[in-house]
Structure 1
């Protein structure tokens, strides 16, 4: 806003539109190139590029179709809605005929995955890009989206080049992009940095210019240099960076139910499954039954390992916690804080150091109750392993040997696109599997934020993989026999049905979100305030025009998602306290915020002048704002209580702004 000379109210809306456009074009570019490098003509690239772009930013999950069904009374029994268990859907008002009309129905699509422990609901966030743009969200996970596609495009180029060393300009540019992702959204640095390293590793392996030992050393060197430079270029940020993350903990008591997972990612899973089946059929036909049986056995071992290793790791972690007095004390303290959520036998077992009982109740029983997602993901990742091994073999590279002369470049490129798309698919699935196993310990105390951030990344990766997967399967169908073509037609019908279902969300949510607006659509994000609260609107405009720098202004504080904090939000001036819960989420700790809300109350209500002056000096407050919200909260006496004590610098339409004289 400052660089452009625009007001922040206009710049914010332009910024959201710009982020949407940059994200859409970035997704289109990569999806287009996957199809074209994979052998498609420019028309195919255009079509599947648009599908990839739509998959990332335009479609929603499948929750909206259940909103429609819920608003058709009697279509499905109450038992179905109880089983579906999308948070708050079963109790939502029924408007009929099929169109949800309650103002916040569109919010439920971001709460599809529902964890329940001890009969109590735990918040889980599963947002996706279109939801973010509908919300007008400019949090880090949205700000970073355009740069995600820059990183993925560079990773694809590195993969295709297969060169051992990047020149200095390439390495610096790549490190600036990967490091910038960490600066914008710290969750993205390990994910997309790792994808870049994997792309380099696959590209080097395909080049066939090395032994296995040399290949490993090259990959390790590249990874170390990339991450070191990515951190170095943003060192001032990392020096002052403070994270709320305090460790890695196993996910206990809950497992994601398969049907909720499919509501969230069903379109991509369906296309990805078709992609892997088509890959398997082609690889078997090209490489023979003997190779297929041998590699299928290896893939089965990969899947089995993914099912066995996580419980073993969880058991070890639980054992370490139970056997270590210090760790156990921390766990017991946490158990006391959430006693109502934890089954009593778990608390007893923890105090008795019975970690086998803990593992059984906290890990094994939930897994046995809801095993299907783990089975699906383990099988899927085994299929991805099969596809990767097949690509290596088809390119003449089972042990690192170079391609033979009679291999056509188009065939190599086709395998390259299939291999990179498989990488995106595997990483996307792996991210969702990780959220079933571990979560980052943070201010929320549950896996809520971990699911949110990992599923958001998975959506992007799976949408891209699905766009290429759809292209790949359609190409296979056109070359197949009659039976396969019929099966392919049926499969394509399923894709069309799921895609249409995914478009229900944007089709219904946009009018639902905008229907209650008090003004016509416009770029000025403050325009509604002029109609809803003209007193505040004029006062805020005066503050923006007449105050320089960043003086602290005091206003009333209140609950989350309320009008409180409006002066600070629309002027950019710091205030003593905004929404308390969000302040905690934004990196402040409880000690920093302790006492601030009572201090605000005392300043507006205390009859002790000395106490008020002391609080104003302690928090370096330069201005006090008294408007309708302050009067509603503290009474009409708050309006004039500072007269004679402080200077009035603004008074109009019932709003008074006082200057404290502190600078």
Structure 2
């Protein structure tokens, strides 16, 4: 398959998770010197910063995760220097700072929203979170500076470390990819509220069921351990906190039900689990290792809810939004589930047999169900064949020898056997990477387009048009891509040899494919010009089989033809700028009477000196109408027998130069 961006970024995602986890877990036992810390921040900033270039979809979420993770690592390192009151205040401030980060990005990025009016309330909340958090931070700095007695418990080195540690990471993550950020632009930089169909619960569990089961199992086990370690007497005097917890739980359930009634069924699973995770995160004596696991589980769950709420503007419905963020979800869930399984599998040694069965039975069922996918999907893919009765083979081209393909938009069946032999001939005879020209049907690239280029690896004028246009969204780049497709069609459709020559020169085409597909979708009149260009020496038939032809372009002949055309036009005093654009819809006037005397000596000399053999006029009627003196010279050359009409249509006239007559005329003049 294609090496897509989300596949390339997988090791970077795993390294980012490792980087964040290490910083949090070892924050209180950090014995690294300054160089080691800077190097770690450099690698972390480079890894997460490069996500913008590798797979941009991963950058916002992992940048947020990294800032929160490093902020918590800073907190764990300095928490023992804070008083209890200040510790509580910093907890609150930390939560507000998270709001400031999210709110700031949203607030200052509101100009990128495709429909800001539809999310006005979110913009207001984001603005409040940002300015409120920044204001509280300013107050804290003010008190620390002017009222040191009130802030004596806050170590001065702690604030400096926060600025260097977290701020340094953010700066590095931006600076290390500054060249990319400075030169890259896209119109896919806004979000919209998603108003289409939402994910039903059955589909959610079908996709994430195994992961959710392990996460919930871990939460149950952690809650059980907490309850077992808590004495009833320890709850005395904690009524207010129990009441707050109960109120929050009730509010979460109510909000979840309301959102589910609005169509957001996933909220019934995600919001209660997020509240549960938050409770266990702040559990007294909770280990940093388990805190990391809980945060990652909450991070993945939050992403699954996020794609139910917003969509990237310009997406195909929400296909890429779900797919790209679910890739992150699966990676994070895989890490969390691995830890959960290890913890729970070890804990089962202390469980009763009945409890083990109750837990292992559904787990084994879910694992077996998930493991069935590669087996069933592989078979389903293997029977989905272009030629069902083709014997087993390791040659991926064999099907072309036997397939009959129907061009969808034309309802025309074509045989692909000739394509097979063209591909094999190119593979065996062509050196280097010359540009080829092949036809394109109106159907998408997911049909039969690019069959020669894909199977030979040779470049063509336009590859995968849709992806090329997607990745070049700023005007006029997308139009340039579409123009290339139009030019491919033009090269096959047109009878205009001079224009075709210029276009072949521009794209440096070396081989032209005319096989069953081209003959099915392009007019015979357009394809006939290639045979005429063979007669003119511009092309040669490099390969031919049953009407399928590979033409080889002679680059020197292309250039000579263009130069010869311009030289001859000058010799007959034809100013092409005097002719109207486009082609005349009427032919030449058969009653036209030329002038009695015109000078053809410059034309004769040019034909002789440049050894011109063919001259092509695509607008001969316009030449007669708007440049009569030039047309008279052509008629005089015809009358002398120097120019012979080799081919003529209403607009086009191809002259062949009679070399013998040309020599005789020149000898007579001498």
Normalised by the length of structure 1, the TM-score is 0.59
Does residue 449 of structure 2 align to residue 556 of structure 1?
A: no
Distance 1:493 1:616, change over 3 A: same
Structure 2 residue aligned with 1:385 = 278
Give secondary structure in 2 for the equivalent of 1:644: helix
Does residue 315 of structure 2 align to residue 430 of structure 1?
A: no
Structure 1 residue aligned with 2:606 = none
Distance 1:636 1:509, change over 3 A: farther
Structure 2 residue aligned with 1:107 = none
Distance 1:554 1:371, change over 3 A: closer
Normalised by the length of structure 2, the TM-score is 0.59
Structure 1 residue aligned with 2:577 = none
Q: CA deviation at 1:243?
A: 2.7
Structure 2 residue aligned with 1:625 = 513
Cα RMSD after superposing both structures: 3.7
Q: Out of 553, 574, 586, which is 1:659 matched to?
A: 553
Give secondary structure in 1 for the equivalent of 2:266: helix
Checking the alignment, whether the CA contact within 8 Å between 2:469 and 2:482 is kept in structure 1 is: no
Q: CA deviation at 1:642?
A: 0.8
Checking the alignment, whether the CA contact within 8 Å between 1:557 and 1:565 is kept in structure 2 is: no
Checking the alignment, whether the CA contact within 8 Å between 1:245 and 1:441 is kept in structure 2 is: yes
Structure 1 residue aligned with 2:61 = 191
Alignment of 1:520-535 (within 5 A): 520=392, 522=394, 535=418
After superposition, what is the alpha-carbon deviation per residue over 1:41-71, rounded to whole angstroms, capped at 9, x for unaligned?
xxxxxxxxxxxxxxxxxxxxxxxxxxxxxxx
Structure 2 residue aligned with 1:236 = 179
Q: CA deviation at 1:283?
A: 1.6
Does residue 329 of structure 2 align to residue 463 of structure 1?
A: no
Distance 1:228 1:498, change over 3 A: same
Checking the alignment, whether the CA contact within 8 Å between 1:425 and 1:461 is kept in structure 2 is: yes
Structure 1 residue aligned with 2:371 = 503
Give secondary structure in 1 for the equivalent of 2:542: strand
Distance 1:265 1:298, change over 3 A: farther
Question: Quick one: distance in 1 between partners of 2:379 and 2:276?
Answer: 41
Distance 1:299 1:511, change over 3 A: farther
Question: Quick one: distance in 1 between partners of 2:339 and 2:396?
Answer: 38
Alignment of 1:338-349 (within 5 A): none
Structure 2 residue aligned with 1:450 = 321
Checking the alignment, whether the CA contact within 8 Å between 1:156 and 1:420 is kept in structure 2 is: yes
Question: Quick one: distance in 2 between partners of 1:516 and 1:608?
Answer: 43
Distance 1:285 1:310, change over 3 A: closer
Distance 1:649 1:511, change over 3 A: same
Structure 1 residue aligned with 2:497 = 609
Checking the alignment, whether the CA contact within 8 Å between 2:260 and 2:268 is kept in structure 1 is: no
Q: Which has the higher contact order (CA 8 A, sep 6+)?
A: 1
Does residue 234 of structure 2 align to residue 373 of structure 1?
A: no
Checking the alignment, whether the CA contact within 8 Å between 1:299 and 1:382 is kept in structure 2 is: no
Structure 1 residue aligned with 2:540 = 648
Does residue 313 of structure 2 align to residue 441 of structure 1?
A: yes
Checking the alignment, whether the CA contact within 8 Å between 2:270 and 2:305 is kept in structure 1 is: yes
Distance 1:449 1:647, change over 3 A: same
Q: CA deviation at 1:591?
A: 2.5
Distance 1:184 1:271, change over 3 A: same
Question: Quick one: distance in 2 between partners of 1:293 and 1:262?
Answer: 37
Alignment of 1:147-546 (within 5 A): 147-162=12-27, 163=30, 166-207=36-77, 208-211=79-82, 212=90, 218=161, 221-288=164-231, 367-390=260-283, 393-394=284-285, 415-444=287-316, 446-480=317-351, 482=352, 486-516=354-384, 520=392, 522=394, 535-537=418-420, 539-540=422-423, 543=426, 546=430
Give secondary structure in 2 for the equivalent of 1:642: helix
In structure 2, stretches of 5+ residues that fail to align are 83-89, 91-153, 404-415, 560-670
Question: Quick one: distance in 1 between partners of 2:324 and 2:266?
Answer: 19
- Specify the structure having the higher radius of gyration (Cα): 2
Q: CA deviation at 1:430?
A: 0.9
In structure 1, stretches of 5+ residues that fail to align are 1-135, 312-363, 396-414
Q: CA deviation at 1:270?
A: 1.5
Distance 1:153 1:246, change over 3 A: closer
Tell me how many residue pairs correspond in the alignment. 449
Checking the alignment, whether the CA contact within 8 Å between 1:159 and 1:203 is kept in structure 2 is: yes
After superposition, what is the alpha-carbon deviation per residue over 1:393-415, rounded to whole angstroms, capped at 9, x for unaligned?
215xxxxxxxxxxxxxxxxxxx3
Question: Quick one: distance in 2 between partners of 1:302 and 1:225?
Answer: 36
Distance 1:606 1:636, change over 3 A: closer
After superposition, what is the alpha-carbon deviation per residue over 1:525-579, rounded to whole angstroms, capped at 9, x for unaligned?
6676677656445544665663546646454244231121123334444433344
Structure 2 residue aligned with 1:75 = none
